[in-house]
Amino acid sequence: MREPTPTEAIDLVGRFEAGQEIPDNMRADVRLLGSLLGRVLRESGSPGLFDDVERLRAATIQAYTDETSEAFERAASIADSLSIARADEVARAFTCYFHLVNLAEEHQRVRILRERDGRPDREDAADSVAAAFVRLAAEVGDDTALQRLQGLRFHPVFTAHPTEARRRAISTSIRRLADLLDEHDASLRGGADHRRAERRMLEEIDTLWRTAPLRPEKPSPTDEVRAVMAVFDETLFTAVPHVYRRVDDALQGPGVGNRAPVVRPFVRVGSWVGGDRDGNPFVTAAVTRKAAGIASEHVLLGLERAASRIGRGLTLDALTTPPSDALLALWRQLKGADEDAATDIAKRSPNEPHRRILLLIARKIAATHSRDADLAYPDPEHLLADLRVVQDSLVQGGAARQAYGHVQQLIWQVETYGFHLAELEVRQHSAVHAKVLAELDAGGELSEQAEEVLDVFRAVAHIQRRFGARAAGRYIVSFTQSAEDLANVHRLARYAVGPDGTPPVLDVVPLFETFADLQAAPGILAEIVEHPEFAARLAATDRRLEVMLGYSDSSKDVGPVAATLALYEAQALIAAWARESGIELTLFHGRGGALGRGGGPANSAILAQPPHSVDGRFKLTEQGEVIFARYGDAAIAMRHIDQVAAAILLASAPSIETRNSDAATKYADIAATMDTASRDRFFALVKAPGFAPWFATVTPMEEVGLLALGSRPARRGLSVESLEDLRAIPWVFAWTQARINLAGWFGLGTALEAIGDEERLTAAYLEWPLFRTLIDNVAMSLAKADARIARRYLDLGDRDDLAALVMDEMELTRAWVIRITGSEGLLENKPVLQRAVKLRSPYVDALSLLQLRALRALRAGAEGAISPDPEQQRLLLLSVSGVAAGLQNTG
pLDDT (tens digit, 9 = 90+) per residue, 421-459? 999 999 999 999 999 999 999 998 999 999 999 999 999
Q: Does the global pTM surpass 0.85?
A: yes
CB–CB of 556/565 below 8 Å?
no
pLDDT for 391-409, tens place per residue?
999 999 999 999 999 999 9
| pLDDT top residue among 810 and 196 | 810
Whole-number mean pLDDT of the chain?
A: 90
Closest CA to 205 of 28, 10, 34: 34
Q: What's the rounded mean pLDDT across residues 557-584?
A: 95
Closest CA to 274 of 399, 108, 158: 158
> How far is residue 282's CA from residue 592's CA, in Å, rounded to a whole number?
22
CB–CB of 197/36 below 8 Å?
no
pLDDT band at 114 (very low <50, low <70, confident <90, very high): confident
Query: Which pLDDT score, from 0 to 100, does residue 596 have?
Result: 41
Closest CA to 94 of 102, 361, 749, 658: 102
pLDDT band at 9 (very low <50, low <70, confident <90, very high): low
Read off the DSSP letter of residue 715: B
In sequence order, which ranges of 117-236 are alpha helices (DSSP H)? Answer: 129-140, 142-150, 168-190, 194-210, 221-231
CB–CB of 728/890 below 8 Å?
no
CB–CB of 681/809 below 8 Å?
yes
pLDDT for 664-723, tens place per residue?
999 999 999 999 999 999 999 999 999 999 999 999 988 877 776 655 555 544 445 566
pLDDT for 87-107, tens place per residue?
999 999 999 998 999 899 999
Strands (E) in 391-461, as ranges, are: 423-429
Give 429-485 as a 3 state SS string: EHHHHHHHHHHHHHCCCCCHHHHHHHHHHHHHHHHHHHHCHHHEEEEEEECCCCHHH
CB–CB of 304/360 below 8 Å?
no
Query: Which pLDDT score, from 0 to 100, does residue 213 have?
Result: 84
Query: Which pLDDT score, from 0 to 100, does residue 185 have?
Result: 85
> How far is residue 758's CA from residue 65's CA, in Å, rounded to a whole number?
30
CB–CB of 622/630 below 8 Å?
yes
pLDDT for 754-780, tens place per residue?
999 999 999 999 999 999 999 999 999
Decide the pairing of beta strands 423-429 and 472-478.
parallel
Closest CA to 889 of 624, 630, 689: 624
CB–CB of 454/492 below 8 Å?
yes
For the CA atoms of 60, 61, 62, 65, the dihedral, rounded to the nearest 10 degrees, stands at 120
> How far is residue 130's CA from residue 642's CA, in Å, rounded to a whole number?
9
pLDDT band at 515 (very low <50, low <70, confident <90, very high): confident
For residue 544, the cross-strand partners are: 584
The one catalytic residue among 556, 612, 784, 830: 556
Q: Which residues of 657-676 are buried (b: 16+ CB within 10 A; e: fewer)?
A: bebbeebbeebeebbebbbe
For residue 852, the cross-strand partners are: none
CB–CB of 383/356 below 8 Å?
no
In sequence order, which ranges of 713-768 are alpha helices (DSSP H)? Answer: 728-737, 748-755, 758-767
pLDDT for 465-487, tens place per residue?
999 889 999 999 999 999 999 99
CA distances from 204 to 36, 201, 728 (A): 10, 5, 36
In sequence order, which ranges of 500-593 are alpha helices (DSSP H)? Answer: 515-528, 532-540, 551-558, 560-580
How far does Cα 213 stand from its chain's mean position?
22
pLDDT band at 890 (very low <50, low <70, confident <90, very high): very low
> How far is residue 405's CA from residue 411's CA, in Å, rounded to a whole number?
10
Q: What's the rounded mean pLDDT across residues 273-297?
A: 95
Query: Which pLDDT score, from 0 to 100, does residue 16 have?
Result: 61
How far does Cα 12 stand from its chain's mean position?
37
For residue 566, the cross-strand partners are: none
The one catalytic residue among 107, 161, 354, 830: 161
Q: Which residues of 244-272 are buried (b: 16+ CB within 10 A; e: fewer)?
A: bbbbbebbbeeeebeeebebebbbbbbbb
Q: What's the rounded mean pLDDT across residues 219-247?
A: 91
CB–CB of 277/331 below 8 Å?
no
> How far is residue 488's CA from residue 433's CA, in Å, rounded to a whole number?
7
CA distances from 416 to 395, 421, 506, 592, 817 (A): 23, 8, 20, 24, 42
Above 50 in pLDDT, residue 595? Answer: no
Look up 364 and say whether it is catalytic: no
Strands (E) in 14-118, as ranges, are: none
Look up 161 and say whether it is catalytic: yes
For the CA atoms of 169, 175, 179, 185, the dihedral, rounded to the nearest 10 degrees, stands at 120
First to last CA, the chain: 38
Query: At residue 87, what is the residue type?
Result: A
Other residues' Cβ atoms within 10 Å of the Cβ of residue 5: 10
How far does Cα 406 stand from its chain's mean position?
29
Q: What's the rounded mean pLDDT across residues 555-568?
A: 92
Q: What's the rounded mean pLDDT across residues 269-285?
A: 94
Share of the chain above pLDDT 70, in %: 91
Query: Which pLDDT score, from 0 to 100, does residue 726 have?
Result: 66
> How far is residue 727's CA from residue 714's CA, in Å, rounded to a whole number?
6
Q: Which residues of 562-590 are buried (b: 16+ CB within 10 A; e: fewer)?
A: bbbbbbbbbbbbbbebbeeeebbbbbbbb
Query: Which pLDDT score, from 0 to 100, does residue 161 have?
Result: 55
CA angle 218, 223, 225 (to 5 degrees): 130
